[in-house]
Structure 1
Amino acid sequence: MSKSPEDALKAVAKTSSKGRELAIRIVSALVLIAVVLVITMLPDHRPFLVMLSVGVALLCIEWGLMMAPNISGRISVAVALAAISALFVGFLGHPILSILVLTFGALCAGLYAYRLHVGWLDAAYGAMYIGWPAIVIMWLHQSNNGTLWVLFAFLIAWAADSAAFLVGRMVGGPKLWPRYSPNKTWSGFAGGLIAGMLTAGALSDLTGLFKHDISASMVGLLTALATMGGDLWESALKRRFGVKDAGTLIPGHGGLLDRVDGLMFAIVAIGGIRLLVLLGTEI
């Protein structure tokens, strides 16, 4: 049966809308990536601190809106105070103390949420969830070859995330975790892992940061796995809070948390690898 003119027009409009959405997604991602890379490569750590502080504050606002929309402002402030305080302590060269400050701040945020009769565990977890990657990446940036380590985290995570999206769209196939993230597929998962490994190998050849190709591939694999895990974890969190997106800050992507969910886990993975190197593990 041939389509009616109305059906044909609807199909064209739907295709055009998807193309426009993808274009907005690409442009907004490129702008965000360019800004982040420029600030990351500056020799002064202070602009990087400012960028992180703004990012953490925005993430805390989104967290407050997700977990307690009726009193989001007060929850966001409590979570942000814990995360940003720890970040500044880490910037001053006290990474262990920053972890203690974050833990204490998370407990305070939880107690404050308890007094407001909302999820105290959600508030405490939000501070740890947002604050932990922030202090890890600040520590990475200030370490020896810190810019390279941070770039590894960024570029591998972005490559894995982009490849997973594109391969999943083009190939399709069985769903990865349909209960919480119905759009993600096993083909996209495999594409993301391969992209992460290839990106790590290419970066290692350019920088000489790792001694062996197999080491770079393993770093890429672990970081890409962390990226995928972070993306899935945030999807589960959004389902728990009953929201589709964490926010509307970035055109085509939703909120900032929707954009950096996988990156947050990738940063922690790279931080763990960096710590192993410092402890004398040969990579």
Structure 2
Amino acid sequence: MDQAGTAAEAGAPARPGKNWRDLRKRVLSAIVLAPAAILCVWLGANAYTLLLALGAAILTWEWVHLCGLRTVKLPGAGVPVAVFVAGTLAVMEYPLASWLVLGMGFLLTWLSAERLRGGDRAQQPALRLALGVLYIGVAGLCLIELRHENEAGRANLLFLLLVVWASDIGAYVAGRALGGPLLWRQVSPAKTWTGAGGGLLLAMVIGGLLAPELAPGSPWRAAAVAAVLAVATQAGDLLESAIKRHFKVKDTSSLIPGHGGLLDRLDGLLAAAPAAMILALLIGYGGALWR
């Protein structure tokens, strides 16, 4: 067990100034991935749809792989099929049908996995596999619906991405540089209250400063919305840590240098996207989240 893990088990606070070995890989990966994501969101239509489809393919593959199954045969194939069919309906602007298909996909994947597992209780629980449909699919449908708002959708999605990235960066830098008490030692041996505070603060600053450049609105309201999304981002990060602990893995895959898998990289966005969708529904379509 590494030093952070030993400290976590002992309940000791994380030590500052440690474990920056992955910083270079993280920066290089971000330089490649971030501009591509921003460009696809800005262009919308085919580029954005392709980005989501590629992301969904990788995310569902990683989830099914974590469950010890394959996406090319049942029951593992049920996860990508359900997510893709629901996403296709959402892109075609049939939102109600897309949510119904997602729910049915979850149930059918669960039932098919139970049937194929039969009496072998040593196999992964069927519910664990089926939950991937909701974990990935709900966020995917929210990201599709948010972009359907045209100019407002583009501004909201760019704002969402910037806030999620700011929260991740702030938490990483503050947590590694300052250390401090662990946020939830039973789930993560590295995440600290200091990091959570740093992520929240940077997200609010970035949100407040950049939101008025994306669409008219109050910077103070933008900072408040950024705070909500930052909390959701960090909750998603903790959820992903709990999932990896449950599966007894360090990373969901080795796809992205310095980050692990795409699930490791998008854990915050998977939680923040539904939060942004709820805010959009509360204020009504057609405007910025901070208007």
Q: After superposition, where does 1:1-283 map in structure 2 within 5 Å?
A: 21-42=22-43, 44-67=44-67, 69-71=68-70, 73-74=72-73, 75-117=75-117, 118-144=124-150, 145-210=152-217, 212-278=218-284, 283=291
Whole-Å separation in 1 of the counterparts to 2:92 and 2:216: 26
- After TM superposition, the runs of 4+ consecutive aligned structure 1 residues lying more than 6 A away are 279-282
Q: Is the 8 A contact 2:82 2:106 kept in 1?
A: yes
The one-letter amino acid of 1:188's match is G
Where 1:245 maps in the other structure, the secondary structure is: coil
Aligned positions, number: 264
Unaligned runs of 5+ in 2: 1-18, 118-123
If you compute each CA radius of gyration, which structure gives the higher value, 1 or 2? 1
Higher RCO, 1 vs 2 (CA within 8 Å, ≥6 residues apart): 2
The one-letter amino acid of 2:26's match is R
Q: Is the 8 A contact 2:222 2:290 kept in 1?
A: no
Q: How much does 1:125 deviate?
A: 1.1
Q: Is the 8 A contact 1:61 1:73 kept in 2?
A: no
Q: Is the 8 A contact 2:90 2:144 kept in 1?
A: yes
Deviations 1:127-173, CA, capped at 9 Å, x for gaps: 01100111111111111411111111111000001110111000001
Whole-Å separation in 2 of the counterparts to 1:116 and 1:189: 42
Deviations 1:200-223, CA, capped at 9 Å, x for gaps: 11122213343x333212101000
Aligned sequence identity (%): 38
Q: Is the 8 A contact 2:110 2:130 kept in 1?
A: yes
Q: How much does 1:73 deviate?
A: 4.6
Deviations 1:36-93, CA, capped at 9 Å, x for gaps: 1111111x412211110111111011101112x2556534421000111111100001
Whole-Å separation in 1 of the counterparts to 2:20 and 2:246: 30
Q: Greater share of helix residues, 1 or 2?
A: 1
Whole-Å separation in 1 of the counterparts to 2:129 and 2:211: 39
TM-score (normalised: structure 2): 0.86
The one-letter amino acid of 2:164's match is A
The one-letter amino acid of 2:82's match is A
Whole-Å separation in 1 of the counterparts to 2:204 and 2:221: 10
Whole-Å separation in 1 of the counterparts to 2:116 and 2:97: 29
Where 2:22 maps in the other structure, the secondary structure is: helix
Q: How much does 1:108 deviate?
A: 1.1
Whole-Å separation in 1 of the counterparts to 2:102 and 2:70: 22
Q: 1:220 to 1:165 in 2, by over 3 A?
A: same
Q: Is the 8 A contact 1:60 1:77 kept in 2?
A: no
Where 2:189 maps in the other structure, the secondary structure is: strand
Q: 1:19 to 1:225 in 2, by over 3 A?
A: closer
Deviations 1:217-248, CA, capped at 9 Å, x for gaps: 21010000000000000100111111111111
Q: Name which of structure 1's ranges 158-167 and 117-126 shifts more when overlaid on structure 2.
A: 117-126
Q: How much does 1:123 deviate?
A: 2.0
TM-score (normalised: structure 1): 0.88
Whole-Å separation in 2 of the counterparts to 1:165 and 1:78: 35
Where 1:181 maps in the other structure, the secondary structure is: coil
Q: Name which of structure 1's ranges 200-209 and 258-267 shifts more when overlaid on structure 2.
A: 200-209
Q: 1:110 to 1:168 in 2, by over 3 A?
A: same
Where 2:77 maps in the other structure, the secondary structure is: helix
Q: Is the 8 A contact 2:155 2:215 kept in 1?
A: no
Q: How much does 1:282 deviate?
A: 8.5
